[in-house]
Amino acid sequence: MTERQTTRSRVMRRVGAAIAATIAVSTVASTGSNAASTSAAKAGGEIKVGIFDTFPGFCNNNNPANSSLMATRAIFEGLVEKTRGNDFVGLLAQSWAPSADFKTWDITLRQGVTYHNGQVFNADSVVSNMNVNSGRRAAQGIGVGTNITFGANIANFAKVSDYVVRFSLHRAQNDFLGTLYASGRLFMRADAQLATGGATGTCSTTAIGTGPFKVQSWNSNELVAVKNENYWRKDPKNPSAKLPYLDKITFTNVKEGSQRAAAVRRGTLDAGMFTSFSEGTFIKDLRQRKSVVTEFKSPNEYYPSLWLNQGKTGSPLANKNARLAVISCIDRANFVKVRAKGESVVAKSLVGPSSVMYTTRGFSKFSPKAARDYVAAYKAETGATSLTLSIPADSSSASQANAKFLINQWAKCGITVNMVVEETAVIIAKAFNPTVPFAQQQAYDILPLLLFEGTDVAFNLPFVATNMFPAGSTNPVAGAFRGVLGGLLNLNKHLDANVDAAFFAGQAAATKAAAKAKYQEGTAYLQTNGFMTSIQHGYYTLFTTKKLGGIGTLKLPEGKTQRLITNYGIDWTGVYKK
Amino acid sequence: MNILRQLLRRLIPMFSIVVIATFLLSLLMRLLPGDPAAIMIPNGSIDQQIEIAKETGLDRGLFGYYWKWFSDVFTGDFGKYYLNGGYRDLGGVIADTLPVTLMLIIYAQIVALTIAIPLGLASAYKEGKRFDRITSTVMFTTVSFPSFALALIFSLIFAVNLGWVDPIGYVSPSENLGEHLKLMILPVMSLAFGLASGYTRLLRTDVIATLKDDYVTMAASKGISNRRVLWRHVFRPSSTTLLTSAALNMGGLIGGTIVIETIFVIPGIGYEIFYSIGARQVVAMQTLIALISIGYVFFNTMVDLLTQITDPRTRERRA
């Protein structure tokens, strides 16, 4: 990064103009590639893309992370997509019509779409997918996972005609499209993929979507995707051309960030994805090489949180003063400088300014004195002689260094926090344990985890609501899953109905302004009562060689432009090799 | 016949060591915290987790689990990667990846020995002289570098700065031999340099000792050239330790490839072990790590036999 750019970004951060920065980056990137795309778009060619995640499989409950989700999205498509203006627009859905009370949504599907195996995409197919996504085929061992929680408000769904599906909801939900979007991961899969599940099934190992690419081969570290010759989308700027432009993309897990960066610099990889949370050094290095690479950077819309567990038996964090002590003793600016190498932004709210949930109200600032006062108040209220907590870290040096950084700060405020070193998979298994009662589902006092993201509420809500299945739910799967999965994602393990009230009221509001006010009220409540906090907000970025064109320029079917890049990368449909 | 008898005599202890090593591995795996079935498919239903526990023997005690795993492996069922709604057969994964790793290890051994043998012989022959001092210093420095550090340094110099080779990737020799060899240069050098340092020092020590033997003095006094004495009369009996060390390193190198294959994105067994550890695929992890211990025992036995061929004195001692 040049000195001028560094200064500019510092000034922007100082004035808190994150939105301005986001728009600027998006505009520069899209304008640059736009100019090249229309004249130079050409079909053919193979490319290699370096990612930093492994491939866990292709069923709805495999939950591929970030960069492997990017590869998965080249194979599968969902009903809706999100534009750069953060509107929801149809992809496999053509249009929708909510009832006046937002409790019924009729989704009209796009015609002329087929899966990779020739199956026609229609209402039957959506019903089939929703049966899996909602856990209704749990008896066949397909689709059961935390993903069911996201659709817990869906009471029922049914085919109205060949291309119309009706969703009936328990609660009014004006942002139901956000549920269908599910942060870009609610895909439609062919019946052949959904045929069998369980330990020996095909749902995870067979990938049959409607996307621009088909799976040629895959293993945990590599996915080879080849062109779907029967893909349905067209490039409005080049209507005679068949999409996608590329013949083949090989997505490879290059775990070591320095090697991923080196491979992009040398051109061994045509593109490589990076995260600001742990790869700032490599990002900065690549950014200096403007003659060799082009950067496509997401907004700072990824919000890691420290989840404070109130539910654990005897947890000190059931006490509000204890929680406020913890979150008042975090020097966020220093953390960003030291641990993130300045590549993330200091959090001023649980979410970033572009989120409809954003408010700084009640967000605790760094104040060791206030923290010490809260500790004293906690001791006075409870009779405790100390405030002792646990925080997990995985075996990576970065994770442990992050934890140590915070532990040292907390120690200065009279808070003792012990680091528990465990593998990531164990931490996740202990943080979301469905086999024990609600209060024990989360094993740690303070859990650092990136779950909040984006601009809307639908994806974030299951992590803060007490139980996503409404009480008295008539959802046929609620009986089996309400007690087990309904509150599993609620990592604070709280039972405070005020949180639900604020966010659900926002979803039921008649106007966007009213909804936003309620969401902000909910965020302020979480912040004021110290349910959780955030230290830094970060981004994901993709560096490509100069050989690639068309990134972020292909219009969605209804004319608007898709988000340039997110945590799950870019859309590869309109990308071509120059 | 004698060699065959020796081989048969070693098979029983070899088998016993494999059993003990893999049993201890099972024990360690079972000592890891958490329910292994739940960790393998954290998003799976309780029924699926029970099904997997039953299929793998994780629902039994330690001995029951071990017997299930061992008998399965013995009959060619190496286990599976369990996904949330399906599996990947580990037998196929091993068939694809093991040859890649063996190739990498063999290349590394060839390069290491090619560097070490002439250097070790020359250093010993010129013991105490400038060449010996320089070689010893360089080798001592190199051996103190871990292979992953060398890998990153080599990548930075040869791939990024000089642009001679690609920093990542793999092509099979049947597909494109030239490209295959080119892509293997950095990983092989990363593994071989440390090995070569150790081998050079071992050989040097043994050669120095052998050079002081009477039969060497006798050979030299007969007027045989120094080169011939070194290669014919000194190197062969001095190579026992080197050979043992090289064979023992074969098993250890499979472990060493975990990091190297991950750094250079080589689809070998090391890369799979790295994945199985990260994904906590307990059964796969056990099978893959067991391969290392089996390899270790196998190569150790082989070196015992080879030593008897190269050095008749050991044969006589054991007879």
Rounded to the nearest integer, the mean pLDDT of chain B is 85
Cβ contact, residue pair A198, B48, below 8 Å: yes
How far apart (Å, rounded) are the C-alpha atoms in residues B252 and B300? 11
Write out the two tokens for B288.
């893959």
Q: Which two tokens stand for residue A111?
A: 């015609």
Query: Scanning every residue of chain B, which has its alpha carbon at the shortest distance from the alpha carbon of A431?
Result: B42
Q: What is the pLDDT of residues B24-78, one digit of tens each?
A: 888 887 777 677 887 787 766 777 788 888 888 988 888 999 999 999 988 889 9
What pLDDT does residue B315 have?
59
Q: How far off is chain A from B216, nearest CA to CA, in Å?
A: 51
Which residue is closest to B53 within chain A, CA to CA?
Answer: A199
Contact A59 B272 (CB under 8 A): no
Which chain B residues contact residue A433 at CB under 8 A? 38
Residue A235 has pLDDT above 50, yes or no: yes
Select from A492, A473, A377, A537 the least CA-distant residue to A134.
A473
Nearest chain A residue to B157 by CA: give it: A262
Greater confidence, B22 or B261? Answer: B261
CA distance A319 to A323: 7
Tell me the per-residue pLDDT of A319-367, one tens digit each, with 9 for 90 and over: 999 999 999 999 999 999 998 888 899 999 999 999 999 999 999 999 9
How high is the ipTM of this complex? 0.80
Helix, strand or coil, per DSSP, at residue A196: coil
Q: Kindly determine whether residue B86 and residue A197, on different chains, have CB atoms separated by under 8 Å.
A: yes
Confidence of residue A500 (pLDDT cuts 50, 70, 90): very high
pLDDT for A29 equals: 35
Domain boundaries, chain A: 302-537
User: Tens digits of per-residue pLDDT, B217-258?
Assistant: 888 788 888 888 888 788 888 888 888 888 878 877 877 888
Percent of chain B at pLDDT above 90?
A: 29
Question: Has residue A9 got a pLDDT over 60?
Answer: no
A26 or B103, higher pLDDT:
B103
Q: Which of B51, B52, B168 sits opposite A268 (nearest CB)?
A: B168
- A178-197 as b/e: b if 16+ CB within 10 A: bbbbbbbbbbbbbeebbebb
Taking 3-state DSSP, the helix, strand and coil percentages for chain B, each rounded to the nearest 5, stand at: 80, 5, 20
Q: Are A271 and A50 in contact (CB under 8 A)?
A: yes
Q: How confident is the model at residue A14 (pLDDT cuts 50, 70, 90)?
A: very low
Domains along chain B with CATH numbers? 12-90 (no CATH), 93-312 (1.10.3720.10)
List chain B residues with CB under 8 Å of A146: 43
Q: Residue B168 is nearest to which of A142, A259, A424, comparing CB atoms?
A: A259
**Chain A, nearest residue to B50 by Cα:** A199
**Cβ-based contacts of A252 with chain B (< 8 Å):** 168, 265
- Quick one: tokens of B123? 């250093």
Task: Write b or e for each residue in B19-34: b if 16 or more Cβ atoms lie within 10 A of its Cβ, otherwise e.
Answer: eebbbebbeebeeeeb
Contact criterion met (CB < 8 Å) for B45 and A141: yes
Q: What is the pLDDT of residue A280?
A: 87
* CA torsion through residues B173, B176, B181, B182, sign: negative
Distance CA B288, CA B277 (A): 10
Nearest chain A CA: its distance from B155 CA (Å): 8
Across the interface, whether the CB atoms of B48 and A141 are under 8 A apart is answered yes
Q: What fold is seen in the domain A302-537?
A: Dipeptide-binding Protein; domain 3 (3.10.105)
User: Quick check: A18 pLDDT over 70?
Assistant: no
Residue B300 in this model has a pLDDT that exceeds 50: yes
Q: Are A432 and A148 in contact (CB under 8 A)?
A: no
pTM over 0.90: no
The pLDDT value given to residue A1: 35
pLDDT tens-digit series, residues B179-188: 999 999 999 9
> How many angstroms separate the CA atoms of A532 and A534, rounded?
7
Tell me what pLDDT residue B255 has: 78
Please state, in angstroms and rounded to a whole number, the distance separating the CA atoms of residues A277 and A302: 10
Selected for mutation to probe chain B from A221, A281, A397 (highest B CB count within 10 Å) is A221
Contacts of B156 in chain A (CB under 8 A): 258, 262
Closest chain A residue to B49, measured at CA: A199
